[in-house]
Amino acid sequence: MIRKSAVLALVAFGLVMPAANAASDEWTIDSMHTAAHFSIKHMMISTVRGGFGKVTGSVNYDGKNLAKAKVNATIDAKTINTGEDKRDEHLRSKDFFETEKFPSITFKSTTIKPKGKGKFAMSGDLSMHGVTKPVTLDVDGPSQEIKDKQGNHKVGFSATGTINRKDFGITYNSVLDGGGVALGEEVPITLDIEMSKPGEKPAEKPAEKTKG
């Protein structure tokens, strides 16, 4: 009884946060409504675009302080899709992503700096093809929080940036007869993320007393 009373007193004075409040900042990336896209120059004259079919992870965000938010996302590299099966098979091979050896691409944010209303820079560690490098993404968002029909809270944001694939050991290329190379090195990337967390459960109604 003494221990329980002490804990309740600390909660009342704000020295200990109840477990429910601590968990309320945790959002889950909604894979069904989240996408990761990229583009790359082909033969220096056209652009090939592609994406990944599965992005999972979590975001810790209290809805107020962006600087304290944390993003942890994982992309299934095997789900790469450029619209051409043979090309996608090549991209999964040792020439590119080596998805059998490195099945996941991960991003973990380290710092977030607001850049004005609806804009911020998110820096973090990007791990791909067995290599981890720091990257910075420009982010639009977060959106206004809404609720879906099931009462879940929803927020979205979009992040863009450019990486050099050679920095991650993806160096495959070929020289063209007339000069130049078949594939560009700079790769623009875009992440469109929707995150979700359950809404508060309605309080249970007290059971009606039966008349005796």
Q: Summarize pLDDT for 17-51 with one digit per residue, the tens.
A: 333 344 579 999 999 999 999 999 999 899 999 99
**Residue 8 is assigned to a structural domain of this protein:** no
Pick the closest to residue 74 from 138, 112, 125 (CA basis): 125
pLDDT tens, position by position, 155-168: 999 999 999 999 99
Q: Is 83 left (phi over 0), alpha (psi -120 to 50) or beta?
A: left
Whole-number pLDDT of residue 42: 94
Q: Total structural domains in the chain?
A: 1
Kindly state the average pLDDT of the residues 103-116.
Answer: 95
Q: Which domain holds residue 74?
A: 24-197
Whether 1 is covered by a domain: the verdict is no
Confidence (pTM): 0.81
Dihedral sign of CA atoms 141, 144, 148, 151 in order:
positive
Residue 161 belongs to what H/E stretch? strand 153-164
Residue 4 lies in a domain: no
Q: Are 45 and 77 spatial neighbours (Cβ–Cβ below 8 Å)?
A: no
In a domain, 40, yes or no: yes
Say if 181 falls within a structural domain.
yes
Which residue, chain included where needed, has tokens 């469109």?
Answer: 192
Largest distance between two CA atoms of the chain: 97
How far is the C-alpha of 70 from the C-alpha of 66, rounded, in Å?
Answer: 9
Greater model confidence, 201 or 33: 33
Please check whether residue 112 lies inside any domain of the structure.
yes
> Residue 89 sits in a domain of what CATH number?
2.40.128.110
Per-residue confidence band for 73, with pLDDT thresholds at 50, 70 and 90: very high
| 101 assigned to some structural domain | yes
17 occurs within a structural domain? no
